[in-house]
Amino acid sequence: MSSAGQPPLKIAIAGLGTVGAGVLKLLATNQELVARRAGRSIVVTSVSARDRSRDRGIDIGKLRWFDDAAAMAAEADADVIVELVGGSDGIARRVLDAAIARGKHIVTANKALLALHGTALARAAEARGVALCYEAAVAGGIPVIKSVREGLAGNQITRVYGILNGTCNYILTQMRKTGRAFADVLADAQKLGYAEADPSFDVDGIDAAHKLAVLAALAFGTEVNFKGVHIEGIRHVSPTDLDYAKELGYRVKLLGVARMTEHGLEQRVHPCMVPLETPIADVEDVFNAVVAEGNFVGNSVYEGRGAGAGPTASAVAADLIDLARNRRTPTFGVPVDYLAKPPISPMDRRVGAYYIRLMVVDRPGVIADITAVLRDESVSLEAMLQRGRSPNETVPVVLTTHDTNEAAMNRALSRIAAFSHVSEPPRAIRIEAL
């Protein structure tokens, strides 16, 4: 029995990679502190991973070992199954299905699984009377799920946005500071362990989109709709763009943005130019940040490490302590039957300002041709930068616009790209009013 007279909360952990080992270390290191805050001890009874012999820096010899994580979820002597395997289907899904079927609570860090199957999993968990907790799935060590679901529960959320991927933020930070190209900085990030051998999920925006879909469902009380997220990555951002951004008073960040509009739920992940004076512009390297806008609270800003053993284990522990205290809330803030299913506002309806960089042959009439196209599409220019003169040579021309419609902007860029004196595809980055 625990010191509080209650039986311990027994847990089983599926996945003993960086995060799984981190959870074991946190529970061992902070054992007494966790027990006091949980009202009873939290005890690991069973574990499962691919390699039993691997040195994880912590003794697992006294724990029951399962080669099959789904079998562990079904058979282990545990009140809670902690799923840290990852992946949107396969063994991770089988683990959660087995846990729900056996009436065991779930703590997961799996944003991909929640983004693709969150509504169905929440419905199954609710029907079985078990909790589905996922603080670790979005923004790592930042307690943003609890903050939005509980701390801001009295507010209508009008917009939620943030830097949701530390790898991209690190790459953009280092590109800006060093002037080096994307590929070079990515290689360094891989050596440092900030990026995977295949970095596509990170640099192409998919990881951030998974997190945004989950966060939007919670913020707006909707079913999870990953397919409704517009996704762009950072491969096309150059040091030149970062330099111009600084000159114009901006910094480039990969943001996830969600808001409810008159056309439906807008969800988008893409590089943005954000004003230098905004708090999110100063969030650098591998740090994440989330901003939630409430109709009574205004802006709430949350910043911290978004990944890694310690921060993610911290989030897992927070969910375990809630379960030990019998603090439970619906997965997405309200019962599943009350989740809305709004239409998705298409990207073409986005209204805002734009940064455009063109590489053009410096000859008379070029700027007139470009501005004529913008005029035809009702795109109003705010500023234009042109460096030097090199007659009949290619030079950069940078334009910024006033607020305009995305569809009109795309039509204009398509027409401009077709000009013979435009030497490469136009580069456009949306300017975000924060």
The class level of CATH for 9-108 reads alpha beta
By CB atoms closer than 10 A (0-12, 13-18, 19+), residue 194 is buried
Fold match flag (9-108 vs 350-431): no
Q: What is the pLDDT of residues 351-367, one digit of tens each?
A: 999 999 999 998 888 99
Question: Which residue type occupies 14?
Answer: A
Q: Both tokens of residue 230?
A: 């517009």
pLDDT at 391: 73
Residue 53, pLDDT score: 80
As a whole number of angstroms, the distance between CA 2 and CA 22 comes to 23
Strand 264-275 to 298-305 pairing: unpaired
Answer whether 274's CB lies under 8 Å from 237's CB.
no
pLDDT, position 263: 94
The distance from CA 170 to its chain's CA centroid, rounded to whole angstroms, is 14
Residue 107: CA atoms inside 13 Å, Cβ hemisphere, count? 30
Whole-structure pTM value: 0.95
Quote the pLDDT of residue 3.
52
Among residues of the chain, what percentage have pLDDT more than 90? 90
Break the chain into its structural domains and give their ranges.
9-108, 151-305+337-347, 350-431
- Is 211 labeled as catalytic in the residue annotation? yes
> Residue 14: its pLDDT value, please?
98
pLDDT of residue 387: 73
Tokens of 47: 């574990």
* Catalytic entry in 177, 211, 246, 341: 211
- Estimate the crossing angle of helix 239-248 against helix 166-178, to 10 degrees: 80
- For strand 351-361 and strand 394-401, is the pairing parallel, antiparallel, or unpaired? antiparallel
Cβ atoms of 136 and 312 closer than 8 Å: yes
Model pLDDT, residue 61: 87
CB 165 within 8 Å of CB 207: yes
pLDDT at 393: 83
Report CA-CA distances (Å) from 164 to 43, 91, 160, 206, 264.
Answer: 31, 25, 11, 10, 22
Pick the CATH number of 350-431 from 3.40.50.800, 3.40.190.10, 3.30.70.260, 1.10.357.10: 3.30.70.260
Q: pLDDT value at position 389?
A: 67
Specify the CATH superfamily of domain 151-305+337-347.
Answer: Dihydrodipicolinate Reductase; domain 2 (3.30.360.10)
Question: How many contiguous H segments (helices) and E segments (strands) does the chain have?
Answer: 14, 17
Confidence (pLDDT) at 379? 97
Identify the pLDDT of residue 362: 86
Residue 2, pLDDT score: 52
pLDDT tens digits in sequence order for the chain, 434 residues long: 455 578 999 999 999 999 999 999 999 999 999 999 999 999 999 999 998 888 888 889 899 999 999 999 999 999 999 999 999 989 999 999 999 999 999 999 999 999 999 999 999 999 999 999 999 999 988 999 999 999 999 999 999 999 999 999 999 999 999 999 999 999 999 998 888 899 999 999 999 999 999 999 999 999 999 999 999 999 999 999 999 999 999 999 999 999 999 999 999 999 999 999 999 999 999 999 999 999 999 999 999 998 889 999 999 999 999 999 999 999 999 999 999 999 999 999 999 999 999 999 988 889 999 999 999 999 999 999 987 667 778 889 999 999 999 999 999 999 999 999 999 999 999 999 98
